[in-house]
Amino acid sequence: MRIVRPSQTSWIGLTGFPDQTEVHFTVPRVGGYVDGRLDLRFDVQLAEGGDGRLSVAVNGERRSEKVLDMGHNTHQISIPLTNADLLASKVVVELAARGTTNNGQLCPTGAVNSGSAINLLPESAMVLTTLQDVNDPQTALIAVPDPLLLYLGRDSNSQAIAMWAAQHLTRAGVATILVDDPLTPGRIIVSDKASAPEAVELDLGGNFVLNGLAGLRRAIEFHRADALVPAQLSDWPVTVTGLTTETMVRNFRGAKQWTIPYKIADLPGGLTPTRFELALRTSMLAEGDEWIVQVSLNGNLLQTVRMPGNVPDIGLAVELPLELQGLTNSLAVRLVDASPNQSVCGTLPDAQAQLLPTSRLTALGVQPTEGWHYLIRQLATAPVVVPGNYGLLNVNQATRIAAMLSQFMPAGVNAAFEAEGPAMMLTALNKNQLAQLLRARKEADMAPERRDWLVTATGETGTNSLRLIDLQTQDEPTFLNQMESASVAILVQSHSSQ
């Protein structure tokens, strides 16, 4: 079984000297393993005249050292895993690089050692061997290659289940692709049969059937690449350990930056954070020297302070404006050594700093009553949320719907595909289906307390890749005319009691 490197679409590695980072590989719980190893593949670029060394530690123990050659090279490092490594729920790989890029000069060009880039390639993986029964459906599911092929289905209910499952698996760190070819071997079929005796079954066609949330959980346990998943964020305040792995001590020269990403839909109860409580621990500077701490949100500078360099612990409470927060957000913390440059090269000595795990987001005070933040909170607190289709969608449309759901569907939502009591309804549809539904909506009597929203894609990247339209205030012909013929949308309908 191969567990690929997390964050497959992101660049992971080291830039400049010195630098450090951590990568977490999740160990699936299937009853134990007899063997395991890490297959790490690196793409290394080192400026001419430079020299460097790459160190690899596993679970805090140094396991490999690699001298880096000048130029553009690829390195393969295989590290056996011990029985103690395989007992844990994750394997932590620590990468560190040291060296120079001064080309033999007394001082490196630009007074920094920046001429290096070490990329841990996406094909890097943890390889595990288990002696489970090969005929067991769960064991066979372990061996299914990534990405998982999720069958879309031929009826609206099956499609609704597949789209919801696709976004659920993707957010849990499982690579997933929706497919509509009935002849595709080894497909994954998701059912809503929560009461089925087995969570994972093999049908007569050799396809895997995942029954309810229990089946999805098994797929996640076996194929999850990312250690940080929304389901782990269950309570406020939310510490940074649930948002980033960058909480180890760092060596740096001059300045160090940490990035803390978060999605509103991933946070407990659909609440929007109102404050960031930063905690840093630093090495000691000379008497009278200072640190500069800068905190920004989505590219907007929130606060800059100077702190004494002879006090190791830095604490800072930063208010997070609601209007600057979108669906997807990024906090950046930058620590600058403001000591005077007194060396021959005008460079500062190495310093150390750590983003402490006690740094956290809090959600105290007034919450928004309009817009995305309000809608996500309503979905998170709804008794039941029922995803559905107005009609059949093709695989391209369904893939876009699943991607849209992953941006605003709360991680802890109580989803069902039929409900007897009060529920919020999510209906996936294309442009023509939307026009038909809106005409039917006009002709029907609506409870005055009910609220309906429409979610469409903006075609842009950034904090808000989706557009939210309040159907109580927006002119319908306007947004229909703005939609392209191939566009898809999600209609969100609240129950009148909400």
* Contact yes or no for 296/405 (Cβ under 8 A): no
Q: How confident is the model at residue 450 (pLDDT cuts 50, 70, 90)?
A: confident
Is residue 109 predicted with pLDDT exceeding 50?
no
> Model-level pTM greater than 0.85?
no
Q: The tokens 């499609």 sit on which residue?
A: 159
Residues 6 or more apart whose CB falls under 8 angstroms from that of 58 comprise: 38, 79, 81, 85, 91, 92, 93, 94
pLDDT value of residue 460: 74
In DSSP terms, 72 is beta-bridged to 45
Q: Which CATH class is domain 371-493?
A: alpha beta
Which of 184-198, 256-270, 353-367, 370-384 is predicted with the least confidence, judged by mean pLDDT? 184-198
pLDDT value of residue 445: 60
Q: How confident is the model at residue 111 (pLDDT cuts 50, 70, 90)?
A: very low
Report percent pLDDT > 90 for the chain: 48
Maximum alpha-carbon separation in the chain: 81
pLDDT value of residue 325: 95
Q: Over range 171-195, report the average pLDDT.
A: 85
Is residue 417 predicted with pLDDT exceeding 80?
yes
Q: How confident is the model at residue 110 (pLDDT cuts 50, 70, 90)?
A: very low
- Please work out, in degrees rounded to the nearest 5, the angle formed at the alpha carbon of residue 158 by the alpha carbons of 29 and 440: 135
Mean pLDDT value across the chain:
86
Does an H or E element contain 407, and which?
helix 395-408
Query: Which of 15-29, 56-70, 118-132, 483-497 reaches the highest mean pLDDT?
Result: 56-70
What are 244-301's pLDDT values in tens digits?
Answer: 988 988 888 889 999 999 999 999 999 999 999 999 999 999 989 999 999 999 999 9
pLDDT value of residue 345: 62
Q: How confident is the model at residue 487 (pLDDT cuts 50, 70, 90)?
A: confident
For the domain bounded by 232-365, which CATH number is listed?
Answer: 2.60.120.260
pLDDT value of residue 207: 86
Whole-number Å distance between alpha carbons of 78 and 94: 14
Q: Which residue has the higher pLDDT, 230 or 491?
A: 491
Q: Domains of the chain: which residue ranges?
A: 1-131, 137-223, 232-365, 371-493
Q: Which residue has the higher pLDDT, 478 or 211?
A: 211
Task: Give the neighbor-by-neighbor strand order of the sheet with 208-211.
Answer: 176-179, 148-151, 188-191, 208-211, 200-202
In DSSP terms, 190 is beta-bridged to 210
Q: What fold is seen in the domain 1-131?
A: Jelly Rolls (2.60.120)
Q: Over range 221-239, report the average pLDDT.
A: 76
- 232-365 and 1-131 share a CATH fold: yes
CB crowding 137-171: b at 16 or more within 10 Å, else e: bbbbbbebebebbbbbbeebebbbbbbbbbbbbbb
Q: Over range 424-444, report the average pLDDT.
A: 83
Alpha-carbon Rg for the chain in angstroms:
25
* 3-state DSSP assignment of residue 421: coil
What are 64-90's pLDDT values in tens digits?
Answer: 999 998 899 999 999 999 989 988 888
